[in-house]
Structure 1
Amino acid sequence: MEPTKRTRRPAALAAGLACLVLLATACAGEGGSGLAGGGDETDRGDGKQIEIALIPWEEAIATTHLWKVILEELGYEVTVTEVDVAPMYQGVANGDVDVFLDTWLPLTHADYWEEYGDRVEDLGHWYDNAVLTLTVPSYVEEVDSIADLPAHADLFDGRIVGIEAGSGLVRTTREEAMPAYGLDDYELIESSTAAMLAELDAAIAEEEPIVVTLWRPHIAYAQYDLKDLADPEGAMGGAEQIHAVGRSGFTEDFPEVAEWIGDFTLDDEELSSLEQAVLADHEDDPEAGARAWLAAHPEFVERTLGEAGEGLEF
């Protein structure tokens, strides 16, 4: 994802992420029903209910709203439920939730996959250039590689700002990168994605040094001028695939949806523009962002849905 012209204050990125999570959770509706409103223009879904788990990572937020809009247009009732990564895998494995769109394989979610992989359905991968990174603002000239960090612990106050404790990114940083590069003088701060982005924004506003755990694809690369640190030891892992997974029996219960998700792919430009539409251009109404993106990308609708997408208007 190449950096693009900044379109708004970076501080809005962290705040907007929190707002989007609240909006996604609100999709569950009132009265504890957990149901979103189904589409009225088609009976393809016949009001069948699908629950999508959402972990508040940017590509997950963007693609979850994308599929919520698509499925509701096709007549399904869609609930989006926010959850942390470990409970999410437990929920899908136990059949408590239908589908999750942001499983990173073979490395980042390897532990979860080893524990739960035989109890879920792999619906296929939709992106194949996902990478974990340690990242600094581009104005930090003292380091260009993770190997440079040991000599500059004081510059960063001995802190690497991480995200959620249960994430594969934090585990990989703690168990692989830090030992590989001798980062004994650093503490990995476990927080949340929103908190990490807030710290990154505050540091950039003052042009202060900071090193954070990050990943590509991420809209932060379009909002900030960032530099990924080289990883000569390969400790952060190589390019990974992002998979969609369903509960056991999902394909049998929703054969058309499973086929559509299996045909779902995004390239770098498409994912970057989708995140921009959902997380930035329409941060107060992410479904409107997904609709705007779908309206501008009819070729995506055609290749993903085939005949089922004919006549859909977003």
Structure 2
Amino acid sequence: MFDRKAFTRIATGVAVAAMATVATGSHAVADQAKPGEGTTVRMARATWDTGWWQAEIYKQLLEQLGYEVAKVTTLDNPPFYQSVAQGDMDLWVNGWFPLHNTYEDTFSQGAETVGYVAEGGALQGYLVDKKTADEHDIRYLSDMKKPEIAELFDTDGNGKANMVACPPGWGCEELIAFQMDAYELRDSVDLIKAGYSASMADALSRYNNGEPIFFYTWTPNWTVGLLKPGRDVVWLQVEETRLPDDQADLVDAATVAGVEGCADDPCNMGMPANDIRPVANSEFLEANPAVRALLEEVRVPVQDIFAQNAQMNDGADSAEDLQEQAESWIADNQDKVDGWLESARKAAM
């Protein structure tokens, strides 16, 4: 005899089980698409604004993986490397190596470099305006030891050349300080260590008024977009590269071929080219394999960084501008981005 009640119970049970299976499967698919759901990333960025756009790109990619990125914190090098090692910060993408090797003892206790934003494309060194260099045959940093040369770049009347340098806490500040001593330039050069962007804006104004300028810079940076090496400015060389102990094995890397705006090829710039790299807390990476995979995959071409820095220098430098510029870059590189995100999702499975 057909038991309608029993049949109804069985049918209902099958339906409920099927619905549970579908729901579980849907949840699994959602988790795979956004493996970071429920996790907040404490992200930092450097104090130099030329690195903020790259930080915004990574922030948006992490959010596409489901991570919640708290407000990005702007930090100097020493507090960032200490906080990432201690686990108070999870990561940033503004590591410069070997320039930041000086912090390795700190961050290696609980953090690590992972992946590359831009590999080997970050040059750094000393420049002067081309007009003054040509008129006075200035080719080497050591030329600043000559009183008549130093006086050309004196902006405060004390007879020393005034050079735009790096603010306290930047890795380049320590390297420049080392070289000022190593090349015995303390009696010839005064370092301008105020805010870099403001100091360079002042130097640009003096250049536009036909006055000599002397400054440190790095690439990618808006400075070499407005003051083009070979046309407006020239790189100064050193006769012998002298580096701190933590970079002593990189002396050969300071001689670079094909540098536009250098008198010689290859050019002995006195400073090795740098890799721009993410640095992240090791325990955080262990708990979030999707983040590790993403950091290992992403690359941002140096020329794209140049282009964004130029936009920023033209006034498109608000938080909204950075967000829109990052969104646009991601959309323009969607095929690559999709591959990076897929690798991150697979790593989380």
What TM-score results when the alignment is normalised by the length of structure 2? Answer: 0.69
Cα RMSD (Å): 2.4
Establish whether residue 98 from structure 1 lines up as the match of residue 98 from structure 2.
Answer: no
Distance (Å, rounded) in 2 between the aligned partners of 1:267 and 1:73: 21
Match of 1:150 among 137, 145, 150: 145
SS, match of residue 140 in structure 1: helix
Is 1:250–1:258's contact at 8 Å kept on the other side of the alignment? no
Distance (Å, rounded) in 2 between the aligned partners of 1:277 and 1:298: 21
Deviates more, 1:69-78 or 1:295-304: 295-304
1:177 deviation in Å? 4.6
Is 1:162–1:192's contact at 8 Å kept on the other side of the alignment? no
- Structure 1 stretches of 4+ moved >4 Å: 276-281
1:121 deviation in Å? 2.1
Deviates more, 1:121-130 or 1:289-298: 121-130
Distance (Å, rounded) in 1 between the aligned partners of 2:326 and 2:179: 36
1:294 matched to which residue of 2?
330
SS, match of residue 205 in structure 2: helix
1:218 deviation in Å? 1.1
Distance (Å, rounded) in 1 between the aligned partners of 2:42 and 2:235: 35
Distance (Å, rounded) in 2 between the aligned partners of 1:177 and 1:305: 45
Is 2:290–2:344's contact at 8 Å kept on the other side of the alignment? no
Match of 1:62 among 16, 35, 53: 53
Establish whether residue 267 from structure 1 lines up as the match of residue 274 from structure 2.
Answer: no
The amino acid across from 2:219 in the alignment is: R
SS, match of residue 155 in structure 1: helix
SS, match of residue 92 in structure 1: helix
Deviates more, 1:132-141 or 1:86-95: 132-141
Unaligned 5+ runs, structure 1: 1-41, 310-314
Distance (Å, rounded) in 2 between the aligned partners of 1:51 and 1:206: 45
Identity %: 25
User: Size of the alignment, in residue pairs?
Assistant: 267
Distance (Å, rounded) in 2 between the aligned partners of 1:61 and 1:210: 27
Distance (Å, rounded) in 2 between the aligned partners of 1:47 and 1:66: 21
Distance (Å, rounded) in 2 between the aligned partners of 1:121 and 1:271: 24
Distance (Å, rounded) in 1 between the aligned partners of 2:332 and 2:178: 42
Establish whether residue 217 from structure 1 lines up as the match of residue 224 from structure 2.
Answer: no
Relative distance call for 1:308 and 1:182 in structure 2 (3 A) is closer
Is 2:91–2:281's contact at 8 Å kept on the other side of the alignment? yes
Relative distance call for 1:88 and 1:297 in structure 2 (3 A) is same
SS, match of residue 125 in structure 1: coil
Over residues 192-237 of structure 1, what are the superposed CA-to-partner deviations in whole Å (9 max), with x where a residue is unaligned? 2223222222222322112112111212211223322223323442
Task: Write the mapping of 1:67-82 to structure 2, written as runs, cut at 5 A.
Answer: 67-78=58-69, 79-82=71-74
Is 1:58–1:279's contact at 8 Å kept on the other side of the alignment? no
Relative distance call for 1:292 and 1:81 in structure 2 (3 A) is same
Unaligned 5+ runs, structure 2: 1-32, 155-159, 243-269
Rg: which structure is higher?
2
1:174 deviation in Å? 1.5
The amino acid across from 1:85 in the alignment is: N
1:187 matched to which residue of 2?
190
Deviates more, 1:123-132 or 1:81-90: 123-132
Deviates more, 1:42-51 or 1:208-217: 42-51
Over residues 98-124 of structure 1, what are the superposed CA-to-partner deviations in whole Å (9 max), with x where a residue is unaligned? 101121222x11221133323212213
What TM-score results when the alignment is normalised by the length of structure 1? Answer: 0.76
Distance (Å, rounded) in 2 between the aligned partners of 1:129 and 1:288: 25
Distance (Å, rounded) in 2 between the aligned partners of 1:167 and 1:202: 24
Distance (Å, rounded) in 2 between the aligned partners of 1:287 and 1:61: 10
Task: Write the mapping of 1:137-286 to structure 2, written as runs, cut at 5 A.
Answer: 137-141=129-133, 142=136, 143-151=138-146, 152-157=149-154, 158=160, 159-180=162-183, 182=185, 184-225=187-228, 226-235=233-242, 236-276=270-310, 280=314, 282-284=316-318, 285-286=321-322
Is 1:58–1:219's contact at 8 Å kept on the other side of the alignment? no
The amino acid across from 1:118 in the alignment is: Q
Highest RCO, 1 vs 2 (Cα 8 Å, sep ≥ 6): 1
Please identify which structure carries the higher helix content. Answer: 2
Relative distance call for 1:112 and 1:307 in structure 2 (3 A) is closer
Match of 2:114 among 123, 133, 155: 123
